[in-house]
């Protein structure tokens, strides 16, 4: 078996590993959540490329003795600088990432999970005003369906306005969800519903949802 592989991926999270290296967590289309080491100092090209919310082609080397992965290259195709330029976008993106990690990358639907996460992060990159919250709730709703947590197209437990909004959002990409108007109270109700059903499956609530 070859020790080198390549696949589409999103950088979800980074954390320090030693003095100069970092450990990266990716969502990939072929193996779900993948942890790999990124070697190099602060000025290295690879370190700047492997950054949260970036998407592209991930190149890995697998050490069969240690059973670890090392990033050999990352071909960034989507940088999404707008997410870091706005507090609401950043917080919504962090909540999406936490949900993906907590849900093990969507189970075995890794290709669909990657597509959905890319779609939502793209929408956040230039989201205006309350659109960031709408994109997050839309992601949570579709994530509950992707992972099999909830399979109804309309949540009858909700009031009419948030129920209709979620039902329409089932077939819409994240980039179009901001066109569906919804008052803040109804959006909050929709968010509480989505986070509650996902939390029931996870056995816990994620702090990032509380933003």
SS3 content of the chain, % helix, strand, coil (to 5): 45, 25, 30
Q: Measure CA of the first residue to CA of the last residue in the chain; give whole Å.
A: 45
Map tokens 């050490």 to a residue: 63
Q: Is the pLDDT of residue 28 over 90?
A: yes
- One-character DSSP codes across 45-90: HHHHHS-TT-EEEEEEEEETTTTEEEEEEEEEEE--GGGGG-HHHH
**Nearest alpha carbon to residue 103 among 12, 169, 167, 175:** 12
* Stretch 35-42: mean pLDDT: 88
- 112-157: pLDDT as tens digits: 999 999 999 999 999 998 899 999 999 999 999 999 999 988 898 8
How is the chain split into domains, by residue range? 4-78, 82-206
pLDDT at 8: 98
- Among 3.40.190.10, 3.30.1490.100, 2.40.50.140, 3.90.1150.10, what is the CATH number of 4-78? 2.40.50.140
**The pTM is what?**
0.95
Q: What is the mean pLDDT of the chain?
A: 94
Q: Is the pLDDT of residue 19 over 80?
A: no
CB atoms near residue 57 (< 10 Å):
13
Q: Distance between CA 133 and CA 139 in Å, rounded?
A: 10
- 86-104: pLDDT as tens digits: 999 999 999 999 999 999 9
């Amino acid at each position: 078996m070859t020790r080198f592989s390549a696949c589409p991926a999103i950088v979800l999270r980074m954390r320090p590993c030693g003095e100069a290296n970092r450990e990266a967590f990716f969502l990939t289309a072929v193996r779900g959540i993948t942890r790999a080491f990124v070697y190099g100092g602060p000025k290295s090209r690879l370190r700047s490329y492997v950054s949260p919310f970036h998407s592209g082609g991930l190149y890995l080397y697998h050490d069969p003795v240690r059973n670890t992965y090392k990033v050999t290259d990352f071909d960034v195709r989507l940088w999404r600088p707008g997410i870091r330029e706005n507090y609401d976008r950043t917080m919504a993106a962090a909540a999406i990432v936490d949900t993906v990690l907590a849900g093990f990358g969507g189970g075995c639907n890794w290709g669909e999970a990657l597509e959905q996460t890319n779609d939502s992060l793209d929408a956040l990159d230039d989201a205006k005003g309350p659109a960031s919250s709408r994109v997050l709730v839309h992601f949570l709703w579709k994530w509950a369906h992707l992972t099999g947590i909830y399979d109804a197209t309309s949540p009858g437990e909700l009031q009419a306005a948030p129920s209709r909004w979620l039902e329409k959002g089932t077939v819409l990409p994240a980039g179009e969800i901001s066109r569906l108007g919804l008052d803040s109270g109804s959006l909050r109700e929709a968010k509480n519903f989505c986070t509650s059903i996902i939390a029931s499956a996870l056995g816990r609530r994620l702090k990032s949802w509380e933003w």
